[in-house]
Amino acid sequence: MDAGAPFVLVHGAWHGGWCWQRLAPLLRATGHEVYTPTLTGLGERAHLLAPTIDLTTHIDDVLAVLMYEDLTDVILVGHSYGGMVISGLIERASERIAQAVYLDAFLPEHGESIRDLGLPGLDELAATHGEGWRLPSLGTAAEFGVSDPHDAAWVDARLGDQPYATFTQPITLSSRGAAIPGAFILTSGGLFPAHADRARVRGFTVREFPEAGHDSMVTMPGSLAAMILDLVHTASPVTTS
């Protein structure tokens, strides 16, 4: 792999490209191009929030970056819900992708949706607080592991509603990306240790970084950058179910 291979960092639910502001410069300083797209309906694209946005929309968002920026040999990093998006990208654009890093992320199997993966009460929450089609954040910055008050205020001010169809649409996967090396970084408890276990079964390189918390790109960007840069040289092949 080219030492200057481009990174594409894919944020999680309720976040936006803004969440990578501290991590991206550290990766760029090592000679990599870094792209931090914001998925439709979130962050600075919140004005586009609509019932029609689903998982396919978000996969298309990042696929367009790969195509229009003419990116190849890409290192994908997907945080939390972003694991669903990068899994879809591996399925649809494996020829452009060199490696994939799942950062405290969902690692889906064929036919699964976020709603299937252990988050109870989502339908009721969307119906009660989001007109049935959008979902307010399930956590605050503090619950995402951001303990510094200034940082927590910065994150909380930017969290936005998630289009709910992104959580209900099942993902379509095959073995197309089986040769792409994968890695997993586990930074929190709850749902994600089970996905780290899936990663181990699939032969991924798995690292644990619990002191960082879920939003590790905010809390400990320097240590996270070092870990990611190390992992991209030791990742193991992705396999799909």
Residues 226, 227, 228, CA angle at the centre, nearest 5°? Answer: 95
Q: Is residue 2 part of a domain?
A: no
232 touches 1 (CB < 8 A): yes
Q: Is residue 84 part of a domain?
A: yes
Domain range for 93: 7-237
- Per-residue CA distances from 168 to 49, 111, 136, 217 (Å): 16, 11, 15, 26
Calpha distance 90→169 (Å, rounded): 17
Which residues are annotated as catalytic? 80
Q: Is residue 189 part of a domain?
A: yes
Query: Is 81's pLDDT higher than 70?
Result: yes
Q: Range with the lowest mean pLDDT among 93-102, 125-134, 167-176?
A: 167-176
- Provide the mean pLDDT of the chain: 94
Q: Identify the pLDDT of residue 2.
A: 56
Q: How confident is the model at residue 118 (pLDDT cuts 50, 70, 90)?
A: confident
CB atoms within 10 A of CB 81: 22
| DSSP 8-state code for residue 51 | T
Q: Residue 159 is encoded by which pair of tokens?
A: 């969290």
Question: Average pLDDT of 189-193?
Answer: 94
Q: Is residue 147 part of a domain?
A: yes
Q: Residue 206 is encoded by which pair of tokens?
A: 């798995």
Q: Is residue 217 part of a domain?
A: yes
Q: Identify the pLDDT of residue 237.
A: 58
Give the bridge partners for 103, in sequence order: 79, 185
In the Cβ-directed half-sphere of 181, how many Cα atoms lie within 13 Å?
A: 15
80 touches 106 (CB < 8 A): yes
Q: Is residue 1 part of a domain?
A: no
Q: Is residue 108 part of a domain?
A: yes
Structurally, the chain folds into a number of domains equal to 1
Full-model pTM? 0.95
Q: Is residue 58 part of a domain?
A: yes
CATH number of the domain residue 70 falls in = 3.40.50.1820
Q: Range with the lowest mean pLDDT among 56-60, 129-133, 178-182?
A: 178-182
